[in-house]
Homo-oligomer: A and B are copies of this chain.
């Protein structure tokens, strides 16, 4: 894409609905009042990228070759930087960024900073995440660098509430039960002292409405959208705004 404005690359498909949700939020959170005010976007969404949690738990092949292929392709196509709207895949993004030679924005850090910014004095943050994100200690390690304590749910709540809720979104199941499961897990985190809970898997913001009535919830998807906009977005030149006022 040889455009005057830099393009955002989306390395997606993990899962597809979470990627669609990321793109929709990117558009609706962009301060543009016409088509031409939005970011150019390139997307590579291969839902057959090997399962990230399975790989991190030593039960499946590495997703790295597929992710590097996608990132290289986005770079060649003209992406200035890349987002990966999948928390679990962040166990691999540093490696992918180096191999492909393209900047990859850090969703984990963005979500933790957004959580810390919700109110003064936030230092204890609950996390709802996949087994892979937990196994790789992605939030714990980033939290230590930012001075934030990270709480996880018990193994029992992980397998009875969080895991089936994520699977329900990926499988296109009725979201009502999944909503309730995420609310139960969020309530437990609050009880153990979490001041804020991060929906730290991009499927969870799609079912976090009930949880948000119990405890402040920060969506990792929104945090990544905001990081992308603050990295790339700028108001379009006046001429483009005028042209954009026409419709099509």
Contacts and interface: CB of A to CB of B under 8 A. Distances in A.
Interface of A: 1-5, 7, 10, 12-17, 19-21, 23-24, 26-28, 30, 32-48, 50-54, 59-60, 69-70, 73, 77, 86, 88-89, 130-132, 163, 166-167, 170-172, 240, 243-248
22 contacts: A10-B43, A12-B41, A13-B40, A15-B35, A15-B38, A16-B41, A17-B27, A19-B23, A35-B47, A35-B51, A38-B47, A40-B47, A40-B48, A43-B45, A44-B77, A51-B246, A51-B247, A52-B248, A54-B248, A59-B246, A60-B243, A73-B77
A17 B35 CA distance: 9
Contacts of A130: 247-248
Contacts of A27: 16-17, 20
A25 to B, nearest CB: 9
A167 B172 CA distance: 32
Given A41-B43, A172-B33, A53 B246 contact: yes
Nearest to A165: B247
Given A38-B16, A243-B54, A32 B163 contact: no
A53 B5 contact: no
A242 to B, nearest CB: 11
Given A13-B40, A40-B45, A54-B248, 15 more contacts: A16-B30, A16-B38, A17-B24, A28-B172, A34-B170, A35-B170, A40-B47, A43-B45, A51-B246, A51-B248, A54-B246, A88-B248, A130-B247, A130-B248, A163-B247
